Structure 1
Amino acid sequence: MVGRLPVLPEPRQPLGPDDRVRHWYENELGWATVPGRPVRLVVGRRFDVLDVPADAGRAALRHLGPASPVAVQGDRIRLLVAAGTKEELPGLLEWLEWGAVALDLVALGPGALMDAPVPPRAGSSGARPPALAPGRCGSQGAAVWLRPPGTECEVETSLPTLSAVGAVTGAPDLVRLVDTVATQCHRIRLRRACAQPLAFS
Structure 2
Amino acid sequence: MVGSLSTLPLPVPAPRRPSGPERWIRNWYENELGWATVPGRPVRLVVGRRFDVLDVPAEAGRAALRHLGPASPVAAQGGRMRLLVAAGSAQELPGLLRWLEWDGVDLDLVALGEGALMEAPPPGAGAAAARPPARDRSVSQGAAVWVRPPGPGCEVEASLPTLSALGGTGGSPDLARVVDTVAAQCHRLRLRRVCGRRPDRS
Q: TM-score, normalised by structure 2?
A: 0.80
Offset from partner CA, 1:102-148 (integer Å, 9 cap, x none): 00000001111000001018xxxxxxxxxxx82333x3210000000
Q: Does 1:195 align with 2:192?
A: no
Q: Which residue of 1 aligns with 2:186?
A: 185
Counterpart of 1:66, as a letter, is: G
Give yes or no for contact 1:164–1:172 (8 Å, CA) kept in 2: no
C-alpha offsets along residues 152-189 of structure 1, whole Å, 9 cap, x if unaligned? Answer: 44411001110289x77332111111001111111111
Amino acid at match of 1:109: G
Q: Runs in 1 of length 4+ with deviation above 6 angstroms? A: none
Please report how far the alpha carbon of residue 65 of structure 1 lies from its aligned counterpart in structure 2 after TM superposition: 5.3
State the shift of 1:54 in Å.
1.2
Maintained 8 Å contact 2:32/2:154: no
Name whichever of 71-80 and 52-61 sits farther off. Answer: 52-61
Matched-pair contact (CA < 8 Å) for 1:164–1:174: no
Partners of 1:84 and 1:65 in 2: how far apart?
A: 18
Q: Secondary structure, in 3 states, of the residue corresponding to 2:156?
A: helix
Q: Does 1:100 align with 2:120?
A: no
Separation (CA, whole Å) in 2 of partners of 1:70 and 1:120: 12
Please tell me whether residue 46 in structure 1 is matched to residue 47 in structure 2: no
Shift of 1:199: 1.8
- Compute the displacement of 1:93 (Å): 0.1
Q: 1:59 Cα deviation (Å)?
A: 2.6
Report the counterpart of residue 32 of structure 2 in structure 1. 28
- In structure 2, list runs of 5 or more residues that go unmatched: 1-16, 126-134
- Structure 1's 60 and 95: CA in aligned 2 closer, same or farther, altered over 3 A? same
2:91 is the alignment partner of 1:90: no
Whole-Å separation in 2 of the counterparts to 1:37 and 1:177 = 31
Would the alpha carbon gap of residues 164 and 180 (structure 1) be closer, same or farther in structure 2, given more than 3 Å must change?
farther
Q: Match for residue 160 of structure 1?
A: 161
| Contact 1:164 1:173 survives alignment (8 Å) | no
* Cα pair distance change 1:34/1:144, threshold 3 Å: same
Check conservation: 2:32, 2:152, Cα contact below 8 A.
Answer: yes
RMSD: 2.3
2:61 alignment counterpart: 57
Cα distance in 2, alignment partners of residues 28 and 114 from structure 1: 18
User: Would the aligned equivalents of 2:21 and 2:138 in 1 still touch at CA under 8 Å?
Assistant: no
State the TM-score, normalizing by the size of structure 1: 0.80
Paired with 2:194 and 2:86, the residues of 1 have a C-alpha distance of 33
Contact preservation (8 Å) 2:68, 2:161: no
Aligned to 1:70: 74
Distance in 1, Cα, partners of 2:170 & 2:152: 16
- Deviation string 1:49-86 (CA, Å, 9 cap, x unpaired) is 0000112212332x425351100011110000001011
Cα distance change, pair 86–14 in 1 and its aligned pair in 2 (3 A): closer
Task: Give the AA of the match of 2:144.
Answer: A
